[in-house]
Every structure is written in structure tokens, then in C-alpha cells.
């Protein structure tokens, strides 16, 4: 059987260039159709994940809502054992909700469906955000120190404030989860046209081999330690969000001593011609 390459060679040798061009054109059209088909299939897959995740969220919200009403003894008194089981139902539905939200984010990131809501963002506001304050409280309750330092010359940046909080929450909650002694330091500094954010902990650290794979989906280094609380999706989402902002993420770590997760993002926002809300 003669392959496309052979065909063209024969045609060219015989100076039938017009035939060669025609053959190549046909091949290009065929490949273009294939690419279109793959694209449609991948869009369908993303849409499917999207719909399923939304459909799962509604009943889950009801489960959590009614369990909370039960726990608050709105429908009658409960004994301690009944209360403890209902608390488990609430905790588990929260975990499931978090997993669904993360799967949705992964699907949206891979299909390019996350659109940033770019605005001027002040790091002082991030420091005072309720979600960050809640993490500070969580760290303190665990007996850890919690320091949030913003250098005096750090300017406002152009970013999506909610997505930025999501990045901070992910990195800080990981730092708390994997630290038993010492504490967490967040340091924000200006580096030329960028801002560098570091989340430094004194926790278990990460080996050299694991460092390379950390930002991949579903990767968990120590499954036994956090199998009840983690999904292995957090860092891959954080990386996707940092990249969307035109930045990059990295980690320095020494096993047993702690980790320094950092990201660097441009002060003026990602390089696109999007309009910025004042």
C-alpha cells in the first residue's frame, strides 16, 4: 500500500505538482475535521462534568440544610449520640461539596471557562478577609504562630480578588494541615513589576521527587495522613489560577523542616486587553 508520503514523492518526481497540492489539501481538510471532532468531544465531556456537578450540589445543599435544622433541635430534642451522628452527616456533606466545587473548577480551568473579574486589589484587604481570619484562628487553635507581613512598598495589583483569596486559602490551609509545631508566615514583597507571595511553614516538608508532581491533579504525597481531608486537586487549581493571572508558582522545601510555597504575579494583571473595573 502506498502511503501519502510515497504518493507525493511519485507525483513530484513526475512533475505533477498540481496533483500533489490537491492531495495535500484533501489531507489538511481531513485533519481539520478530526481536530474539530476531538474539540467537540472534549467540550461535551466538560459540559457533562459541569452538569453532573451542578445536579449533585442541589440535593447536597438540602441534606446539609435539613441536617442542620435537625441538629438545632428544630424538630424535637435529640440525645448526644444522635447529635454526634448528625454532625458527621454535616461534615461529610461539606467535604463532598468541597470536592464537587473543586471538580467544577478543574473542568472550568481545562476548558478555559474561568473568566477573571479583574479589579484593583489591596493586600491589606486580603489580610483582613474573613476567610483568612478564620484560618488564622484555626492555626492559633492548633498552637501554631501565624504572621502575615506585607512589605511597605507593595502596591495594589490588578487581579481577581475572589480567585486570589481562593489561592491564599488553599496554600494557607495546606500549610496548617501539614504543620504540627512552629507556625505559618505569609510574606508579600515587590519584585520589579511583580509581587511575590510566600506561604512559609515549619511543617513536614516535601521530598525532591514529590516536588515535581505536587501541582498535578489528584496528587497526594502522604495519603494516610490526610485521606479524610484532602482531594489532591487543590494545588493543581491554584497553579491554574496563578497562570491565568499571568504568574507562576513554585515551592522550596526540605523534608522535616518545612515548605515555602510562593507565587509571583504581575502588578498590572495578565497581559490581555480586558477592561478593568475601577
Q: Is the backbone of residue 46 left (phi > 0), alpha (psi -120 to 50) or beta?
A: alpha
182 contributes a contact to ligand ADP by CB under 6 A:
no
206 contributes a contact to ligand ADP by CB under 6 A:
yes
Choose, by CB under 6 A, the member of 178, 241, 249, 269 that binds ligand ADP.
178
3-class DSSP state for residue 266? strand
204 contributes a contact to ligand ADP by CB under 6 A:
yes
| Residue placing its CB nearer to ligand ADP in the complex, 161 or 232 | 232
| Residue placing its CB nearer to ligand ADP in the complex, 157 or 263 | 263
Choose, by CB under 6 A, the member of 183, 230, 240, 269 that binds ligand ADP.
230
**Residues in 250-269 that interact with ligand ADP by CB under 6 A:** 259
* Strands 194-201, 258-266: pairing kind: antiparallel
DSSP code string of 184-242: EEEEEEEETTEEEEEEEE-SS---HHHHHHTTSTT--S-HHHHTTT--S-HHHHHHHHH
Contacts of 162 (CB under 8 A, 6+ apart): 117
Which cell numbers hold the place of 164?
A: 486570589
Neighbours of 183 (CB within 10 A): 20
Asked whether the beta carbons of 170 and 234 are under 8 A apart, the reply is yes
Choose, by CB under 6 A, the member of 121, 175, 197, 265 that binds ligand ADP.
175
53 contributes a contact to ligand ADP by CB under 6 A:
no
Task: Give the nearest residue (CB) to ligand ADP.
Answer: 230
3-class DSSP state for residue 116? coil
- Number of residues in contact with ligand ADP, rule: CB under 6 A? 20
In the chain, where does DSSP find H-type helix? 4-13, 17-71, 80-110, 123-127, 130-141, 161-177, 208-213, 223-226, 234-244
Binding mask 103-122 for ligand ADP (x = CB under 6 A): --------------------
235 contributes a contact to ligand ADP by CB under 6 A:
yes
| Residue placing its CB nearer to ligand ADP in the complex, 70 or 197 | 197
Choose, by CB under 6 A, the member of 183, 234, 246, 269 that binds ligand ADP.
234
Query: Nearest approach, Cβ of 171 to ligand ADP (angstroms)?
Result: 7
Choose, by CB under 6 A, the member of 220, 239, 240, 244 that binds ligand ADP.
220
Find the helix packing angle between 17-71 and 4-13, rounded to 10°: 160
Residues that bind ligand ADP (CB under 6 A): 174-175, 178, 201, 203-204, 206, 214, 219-222, 226, 230-235, 259
Amino acid at each position: 500500500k502506498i502511503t501519502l508520503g510515497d504518493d507525493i514523492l511519485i507525483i513530484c518526481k513526475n512533475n505533477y505538482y498540481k496533483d500533489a497540492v490537491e492531495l495535500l489539501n484533501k489531507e489538511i481538510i481531513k485533519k481539520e475535521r478530526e481536530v474539530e471532532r476531538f474539540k467537540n468531544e472534549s467540550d461535551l465531556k466538560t459540559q457533562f462534568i459541569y452538569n453532573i456537578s451542578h445536579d449533585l450540589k442541589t440535593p447536597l445543599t438540602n441534606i446539609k440544610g435539613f441536617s442542620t435544622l435537625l441538629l438545632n433541635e428544630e424538630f424535637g430534642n435529640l440525645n448526644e449520640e444522635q447529635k454526634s451522628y448528625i454532625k458527621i452527616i454535616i461534615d461529610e456533606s461539606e467535604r463532598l461539596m468541597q470536592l464537587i466545587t473543586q471538580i467544577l473548577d478543574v473542568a472550568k480551568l481545562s476548558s478555559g471557562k474561568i473568566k477573571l473579574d479583574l479589579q484593583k486589589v489591596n493586600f491589606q484587604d486580603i489580610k483582613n478577609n474573613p476567610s483568612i481570619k478564620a484560618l488564622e484562628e484555626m492555626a492559633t487553635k492548633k498552637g501554631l504562630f501565624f504572621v502575615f507581613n506585607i512589605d511597605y512598598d507593595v502596591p495594589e495589583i490588578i487581579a481577581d480578588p475572589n480567585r486570589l483569596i481562593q489561592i491564599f486559602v488553599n496554600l494557607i490551609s495546606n500549610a496548617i494541615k501539614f504543620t504540627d509545631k512552629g507556625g505559618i508566615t505569609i510574606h508579600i514583597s515587590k519584585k520589579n513589576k511583580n509581587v511575590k507571595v510566600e506561604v512559609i511553614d515549619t511543617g513536614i516538608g516535601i521530598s525532591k521527587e514529590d516536588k515535581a508532581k505536587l501541582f498535578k491533579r489528584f496528587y497526594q504525597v502522604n495519603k494516610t495522613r490526610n485521606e479524610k481531608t484532602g482531594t489532591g486537586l487543590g494545588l493543581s487549581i491554584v497553579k491554574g489560577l496563578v497562570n491565568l493571572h499571568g504568574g507562576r508558582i513554585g515551592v522550596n522545601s526540605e523534608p522535616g523542616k518545612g515548605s515555602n510555597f510562593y507565587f509571583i504575579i504581575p502588578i498590572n494583571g495578565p497581559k490581555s486587553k480586558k477592561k478593568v473595573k475601577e
